[in-house]
A and B are shown apart, each in its own frame.
Chain A
Amino acid sequence: MSGLWPLVWRAVGARPLRSALTSIAVALGIAVVLGVQITINGLDTQAAAAQQLRAGASGLDVRVDAGAGITPAQVLRLGGIQGVAQAAPLYEKRVAAAPAGSGLQGLTVTLVGLQDGTAGLRPVHVVAGRLPHPGSINEVAIDQALSQALATKRGTAIHIGDRIQMITASGPDQFVVVGTTAGTSAGPAFTRSAVFADNAAMLGTFRLGLRTPLVALRLFPSFNAADVAAQVHARLGSQVTTYDPTGGGLAPLADLRALLALVTMLSVVIGAGVTANSVALAVLERRRDIGLLRAAGASATQVFRMFAAEAALVCAFAVPVGVGVGVALGYFLGSQYSPPDLPFGGVSVSAWQVIAAIAAGVGAALLGGMVPAFAAARVPILDALRLHPQQGRQRVNTALLSPAVLCLVGATLCFISSASGLVALGVALFLLGVVLTLPVLMPLIGALVARAVSRFSPGAANAAAGLVRSRNRTSLTAAGLAVTVATAVAVGTLTASALSASDAWVSHLFVGDMVLSSPVTQRDTVMTAVRHDPDVISATPLRFFSEPVAGAVLGITTLEPTVYAGQGGLDVVTPDRSQALNSLENSPSFVVPQQLASASGWQVGTQLPVQTAKGTVYFTVTGIVSHSFPGGDGSETLVMANDLARTYFGAAASGFDDLVVTTDGATGNVQATAASYGMQGVQVDSISGAARDALQHSVGLLVALAVIAVGIAMLALVNTLVVNVRQRTRELALLRAVGMDRRQAFRLVVSESGLLALTTVLLGVGVGCVIALPMMRASSTATFTPVFVFPASVAVALVLTVVVSTLLAVLGPARRAANASVLDALRHE
């Protein structure tokens, strides 16, 4: 490079803005790859930590939900299994509790046993005070929400040092509260809120009616959960279920990873496009240089190397910036999108990931730059030497049309399937097809847009003619922006649709305007009291519990079917709402969520064996709903009638956990009534608001990345338009020589650039809506079944941003081109 290196170096320096913009584009490509990597690393680490926290020291949970659960003999046998270091039974009992001295009119609470300060090997989070001492038989710790609920009769909350009264079979029934706890996130065996006592008390005073629903097994490090689970089933039979609490952790953003990969790839490809565009512009501007070099004896290879080196130089600048911005982006996105209850673990990234990000960004950019560099090397010398390459009306390259049609047909075929991999391929093919047909589409849409805006901007028709004249160049310029805008709109559509789906879900779940939720199962008398509140028009109870159904422990929600049938609750898919809900009343039956039904192969009419207090009973599936109530572990619950639940599950199904209330609009009184029973009143609106927030939170990552991609593409557009305008100096001079004034000349170039930007972004919006449909279908899951909603705000923001920033970018060059002295401009060449 000794000979041409100064040329390379100075060429980059002579166009500082373009070099900088290109470098930024490549840097952003690197940054997005790295940032996404860091974000995912961070969220994964965090999810693993959270999972670890939930699992505690338990390597395998063994559960029996029916009856008294696991017998002491079985616990012993579990302890004897090879690989098991410790078998910790979890003792549980439902008892009536009340503040000391208030008689026995208390609440039914769940009492959970502690062994060495852990429940089922899980740590219990202490908010204040401490846990009961090991061996203590008269101390308890109490969930903070429950302490509110228990306080009611005396009007003040239960404090540390206060006494509560619980019914026991023998011995003392007064207990000292020594601490308050929070968030018993200890997995499926736990109720929402509990009273904790040491196992000494559990096995002593509370011995009668004690259940052991779970035994947590601590495993020796060299044994894996699956092998031990097999042993457990071999020894205890199929009555027990086993569950690996450390495994099966949900990968954060799992649903979004395919889309994330797509958007990330897009950023890299667009970065490459910007580089290709920038090198192509350099080739265009320096055609004459190429001719001179070749005439002086430079080989085609030398010319190629010169332009390739320019691309490489620009990439070299991009690397440190890209890595820096990538780390910052990763940190920002990671902390932005990590769940609020866990702090983001900080930036962790391996050297290989950094190298891979650089390789992806720089590699793609270099490849992009090679194409025009190669073309430059192939320019016939005399063509290059000619001062004004003929710029006739450009024709549509028909060779591109058949691959374009192939791409579009292929995309359609892919869209018919709903496998996410195929749909992603289809989206890529569709975008490619659109890019290839741009030389046809751009002038068409440009003319339409021009006609639409001609009232405000009289020059639009002329500008549209310009688009036709240079259709190929225009298309090249527009391609990146159209594709990224399309992606951003598609992502926006997904978001908007998901949000409306979640709103619909929440409003179907709660047939009222307010939900009173209780930390502990309340007795029916409380419901009666709430119903008597003058502001309450109606109230219907919900009760959540879990039972073994068809061999697995499933969450069940009970409700009043007539209320839900009457008020349009639940989104029944088959057969119809009233039929499905009304038959719930008549015989043992469930309405099941679609996701569970399709996963288990259940249909309306399927009989499911259920362990009940009356032995095994076959329940019928009477209906399938698109969504039911969230089960707490990511799945959705079965739904049944509350009277029948009491018949078959007895005390386990009595009372209620939530009360869905329709008020007359004044909620203050209702809130107070609820609070007096330790319940919390939440507006249904704010529930859907919370659901919205959660969704927006995760999809926001995609939107952020799509916006970055649009930004990268804008860099290419600005680069090209600035060169276009500059190159038209001579044409403008000619026009002015025959009488056009400066103002008209200025307006001509500006309106051409504006029209190009507007056409491109509108095309992108249209294409985005089209690709959003199959993407929506592919990404719909149990909790995410969107219906098309046009993301108006995203679209408007994109159109405005793109058009305004384009106009701002060309304003300066346009003014200079329009104001150049006619004679200078003509003499110049």
Chain B
Amino acid sequence: MLVAESLRKSFHVSRPARQVLRGISLTVGHGEFVAVMGASGSGKSTLLHVLGGLERPDSGSVRIQGVDIYSLADGARSAFRRDHIGFVFQFFNLLPALTAAENVALPLRLRNESWLRPRSRRVAQSVIMERVTTLMDQLNLRGLQGHGPDEISGGEQQRIAIARALAAAPSLLLADEPTGNLDWNSGQEVLSMLARLCRAQAQTAVLVTHDAQVAAYADRVLVIRDGEIIDEIEMGRRDDPGKRPDHARLAARLAKLEL
């Protein structure tokens, strides 16, 4: 599903150039929920951006469903992102000018926007509406459709962002510290909902966090330090979807890594 090979990336802001990714390879299977964990500044966000086609690596490749995304031209990569990748960021995920429902519908609307797309292949308005309603119901957002982002709590905003990321039924969901900006309770609520949804719909997802509590929701945790994967922890939840996140086990393992 997602195969990344020996990704390298350095930023030339200072001298010597700062190597942020030092040859990262990873594979994420279909329907797998993977967390990438690491301290602040370890290169997690950069990795996520590279995986999502937002930032070209210096070397290495990213294949999603067999497509080498950096071999695509910019326009084609935009279209690929629109159809196959959903993003959730830490803050300000929503377009302030649009209502909650419109934010969710955005990726589908963007599809319709292409001039080249024949009318017959457009997504019908009714289909969009249905999809938006379903997603918002699943994320417990009923009744917020017409509200603007500034009338909605942080937790709700992040759930809307997740709904939007999932709206186009992407192959891959990428989330960068989606709960980093939330209080503990809303964070837990958002995460459990995200995890449940991913499992129920076999949604492939990569989540980045510096918080072990968050990472514990994943099937598998990759630990990253200074741009390298230093450990991989199987949480054993794939076989047992109902299992509660095993915070203690992860914490013990991380302690050994002095994280």
**Is B78's CB under 8 angstroms from A298's CB?**
yes
Q: Give the docked Cα–Cα distance between A288 and B79 (Å).
A: 20
**Is B106's CB under 8 angstroms from A288's CB?**
no
Is A10 interfacial (CB-CB < 8 Å)? yes
**Is B92's CB under 8 angstroms from A300's CB?**
no
Q: Give the docked Cα–Cα distance between A301 and B75 (Å).
A: 8
Is A3 interfacial (CB-CB < 8 Å)? yes
**Is A299's CB under 8 angstroms from B102's CB?**
no
Task: With both chains docked as a complex, state the minimum distance between the C-beta of B11 and any C-beta of chain A, in angstroms.
Answer: 11
Find A3's partner among B83, B85, B113 (CB 8 Å cutoff). B113
**Is A382's CB under 8 angstroms from B54's CB?**
yes
Is A297 interfacial (CB-CB < 8 Å)? yes
Which of chain A's residues have a CB closer than 8 A to the CB of B110?
3-4, 293, 296-298, 302
Q: Which residue of B lies closest to A289 (CB)?
A: B95
Find A295's partner among B80, B81, B168 (CB 8 Å cutoff). B81
- Interface of chain A residues 283 through 329 with chain B (CB within 8 A): 288-289, 292-302
**Is A296's CB under 8 angstroms from B52's CB?**
no
**Is B75's CB under 8 angstroms from A299's CB?**
yes
**Is B55's CB under 8 angstroms from A296's CB?**
no
Is B159 interfacial (CB-CB < 8 Å)? no
Which of chain B's residues have a CB closer than 8 A to the CB of A295?
52, 54, 81, 87, 89
- Interface of chain A residues 94 through 133 with chain B (CB within 8 A): none
Which of chain B's residues have a CB closer than 8 A to the CB of A296?
81-82, 86-87, 106-107, 110, 164
Which of chain A's residues have a CB closer than 8 A to the CB of B86?
296
Task: With both chains docked as a complex, state the minimum distance between the C-beta of A703 and any C-beta of chain B, in angstroms.
Answer: 42
Which of chain A's residues have a CB closer than 8 A to the CB of B83?
297
Q: Give the docked Cα–Cα distance between A381 and B81 (Å).
A: 12
Is A11 interfacial (CB-CB < 8 Å)? yes
Q: Give the docked Cα–Cα distance between A300 and B79 (Å).
A: 10
Q: Give the docked Cα–Cα distance between A239 and B78 (Å).
A: 86
Is B97 interfacial (CB-CB < 8 Å)? yes
Task: With both chains docked as a complex, state the minimum distance between the C-beta of A672 and any C-beta of chain B, in angstroms.
Answer: 80
Q: Which residue of B lies closest to A302 (CB)?
A: B113
Is A234 interfacial (CB-CB < 8 Å)? no
Is A391 interfacial (CB-CB < 8 Å)? no
Is A14 interfacial (CB-CB < 8 Å)? yes
Q: Which residue of A lies closest to B106 (CB)?
A: A296
**Is B95's CB under 8 angstroms from A294's CB?**
no
Which of chain B's residues have a CB closer than 8 A to the CB of A292?
89, 92-95
Q: Give the docked Cα–Cα distance between A794 and B57 (Å).
A: 60
Q: Give the docked Cα–Cα distance between A7 and B79 (Å).
A: 20
Q: Give the docked Cα–Cα distance between A162 and B85 (Å).
A: 106
Find B78's partner among A7, A289, A300, A387 (CB 8 Å cutoff). A300
**Is B97's CB under 8 angstroms from A382's CB?**
no
**Is A3's CB under 8 angstroms from B78's CB?**
no
Which of chain A's residues have a CB closer than 8 A to the CB of B113?
1-4, 298, 302
Is B74 interfacial (CB-CB < 8 Å)? yes
Is A385 interfacial (CB-CB < 8 Å)? yes
**Is A300's CB under 8 angstroms from B95's CB?**
no
Is B109 interfacial (CB-CB < 8 Å)? yes
Q: Give the docked Cα–Cα distance between A303 and B55 (Å).
A: 18
Is A6 interfacial (CB-CB < 8 Å)? yes
Q: Give the docked Cα–Cα distance between A292 and B89 (Å).
A: 9
**Is A297's CB under 8 angstroms from B112's CB?**
no
Which of chain B's residues have a CB closer than 8 A to the CB of A14?
97
Task: With both chains docked as a complex, state the minimum distance between the C-beta of B67 and any C-beta of chain A, in angstroms.
Answer: 14
Is B196 interfacial (CB-CB < 8 Å)? no
Task: With both chains docked as a complex, state the minimum distance between the C-beta of B111 and any C-beta of chain A, in angstroms.
Answer: 8
Which of chain B's residues have a CB closer than 8 A to the CB of A301?
75
B75, B107, B109, B168, most chain A CB atoms within 10 A:
B109
Find A381's partner among B54, B107, B168 (CB 8 Å cutoff). B54
**Is B89's CB under 8 angstroms from A300's CB?**
no
**Is A6's CB under 8 angstroms from B79's CB?**
no
Is B3 interfacial (CB-CB < 8 Å)? no
Would you give the 0/1 interface string for A242-266, flagging 1 where the beta carbon is closer than 8 Å to chain B? 0000000000000000000000000
Is B22 interfacial (CB-CB < 8 Å)? no
**Is A294's CB under 8 angstroms from B112's CB?**
no
Task: With both chains docked as a complex, state the minimum distance between the C-beta of A776 and any C-beta of chain B, in angstroms.
Answer: 52
**Is A2's CB under 8 angstroms from B112's CB?**
yes
Which of chain A's residues have a CB closer than 8 A to the CB of B81?
295-297
**Is A297's CB under 8 angstroms from B79's CB?**
yes
Would you give the 0/1 interface string for B62-99, flagging 1 where the beta carbon is closer than 8 Å to chain A? 00000000000011001111110111010111111110
B87, B95, B112, most chain A CB atoms within 10 A:
B95
**Is A288's CB under 8 angstroms from B92's CB?**
yes
**Is A298's CB under 8 angstroms from B82's CB?**
yes
Is B237 interfacial (CB-CB < 8 Å)? no
Task: With both chains docked as a complex, state the minimum distance between the C-beta of B40 and any C-beta of chain A, in angstroms.
Answer: 16
Task: With both chains docked as a complex, state the minimum distance between the C-beta of B21 and any C-beta of chain A, in angstroms.
Answer: 14
Is B49 interfacial (CB-CB < 8 Å)? yes
Which of chain B's residues have a CB closer than 8 A to the CB of A299?
75, 78-79, 114
Which of chain A's residues have a CB closer than 8 A to the CB of B111?
3, 297
Which of chain B's residues have a CB closer than 8 A to the CB of A6?
97-98, 102
Q: Which residue of B lies closest to A381 (CB)?
A: B54
Given A7-B97, A295-B52, A297-B107: A385 and B89 interface contact (C-beta under 8 Å): yes
Task: With both chains docked as a complex, state the minimum distance between the C-beta of B8 and any C-beta of chain A, in angstroms.
Answer: 17
Q: Give the docked Cα–Cα distance between A610 and B38 (Å).
A: 107
Would you give the 0/1 interface string for A1-25, flagging 1 where the beta carbon is closer than 8 Å to chain B? 1111011001100100000000000
**Is A294's CB under 8 angstroms from B78's CB?**
yes
Q: Give the docked Cα–Cα distance between A381 and B114 (Å).
A: 19
Which of chain A's residues have a CB closer than 8 A to the CB of B168?
297
Which of chain A's residues have a CB closer than 8 A to the CB of B82?
296-298
Q: Which residue of B lies closest to A297 (CB)?
A: B82
Task: With both chains docked as a complex, state the minimum distance between the C-beta of A287 and any C-beta of chain B, in angstroms.
Answer: 11
**Is B109's CB under 8 angstroms from A4's CB?**
yes
Task: With both chains docked as a complex, state the minimum distance between the C-beta of B76 and any C-beta of chain A, in angstroms.
Answer: 9
Q: Give the docked Cα–Cα distance between A40 and B114 (Å).
A: 47
Which of chain B's residues have a CB closer than 8 A to the CB of A381?
54-55
Given A288-B92, A297-B78, A297-B83: A382 and B55 interface contact (C-beta under 8 Å): yes
Q: Give the docked Cα–Cα distance between A7 and B91 (Å).
A: 20
**Is B98's CB under 8 angstroms from A7's CB?**
yes
Task: With both chains docked as a complex, state the minimum distance between the C-beta of B245 and any C-beta of chain A, in angstroms.
Answer: 28
**Is B97's CB under 8 angstroms from A10's CB?**
yes
Which of chain B's residues have a CB closer than 8 A to the CB of A10?
97-98
- Interface of chain A residues 698 through 741 with chain B (CB within 8 A): none
Which of chain B's residues have a CB closer than 8 A to the CB of A293?
95, 106, 110
**Is B49's CB under 8 angstroms from A382's CB?**
yes
Q: Which residue of A lies closest to B54 (CB)?
A: A381
Q: Give the docked Cα–Cα distance between A298 and B168 (Å).
A: 13
**Is B109's CB under 8 angstroms from A3's CB?**
yes
Q: Which residue of B lies closest to A305 (CB)?
A: B113
Q: Give the docked Cα–Cα distance between A242 and B252 (Å).
A: 114
A2, A4, A294, A295, most chain B CB atoms within 10 A:
A295
Q: Give the docked Cα–Cα distance between A295 and B98 (Å).
A: 16
Q: Give the docked Cα–Cα distance between A288 and B49 (Å).
A: 16
Q: Give the docked Cα–Cα distance between A302 and B87 (Å).
A: 18
**Is A300's CB under 8 angstroms from B74's CB?**
yes
Q: Give the docked Cα–Cα distance between A302 and B79 (Å).
A: 11
Task: With both chains docked as a complex, state the minimum distance between the C-beta of A232 and any C-beta of chain B, in angstroms.
Answer: 70
Q: Give the docked Cα–Cα distance between A230 and B209 (Å).
A: 98
B91, B113, B168, most chain A CB atoms within 10 A:
B113
Would you give the 0/1 interface string for A351-388, flagging 1 where the beta carbon is closer than 8 Å to chain B? 00000000000000000000000000000011001010
**Is B109's CB under 8 angstroms from A2's CB?**
yes
Q: Give the docked Cα–Cα distance between A294 and B75 (Å).
A: 11
- Interface of chain B residues 117 through 176 with chain A (CB within 8 A): 164, 168
Sorted nearest first, the 5 A-B pairs with minimum C-beta distance are A297-B82, A3-B109, A10-B97, A299-B78, A3-B113
What are 12 A-B contacts defined by CB distance under 8 Å?
A2-B109, A2-B112, A4-B109, A4-B110, A4-B113, A10-B98, A292-B94, A292-B95, A296-B107, A296-B110, A297-B82, A298-B82
Seed contacts A2-B113, A296-B110; 18 additional CB < 8 Å A-B pairs: A2-B112, A3-B106, A3-B110, A10-B98, A289-B97, A292-B89, A293-B95, A293-B106, A294-B78, A295-B52, A296-B107, A297-B168, A298-B82, A298-B110, A299-B75, A382-B55, A385-B89, A387-B91
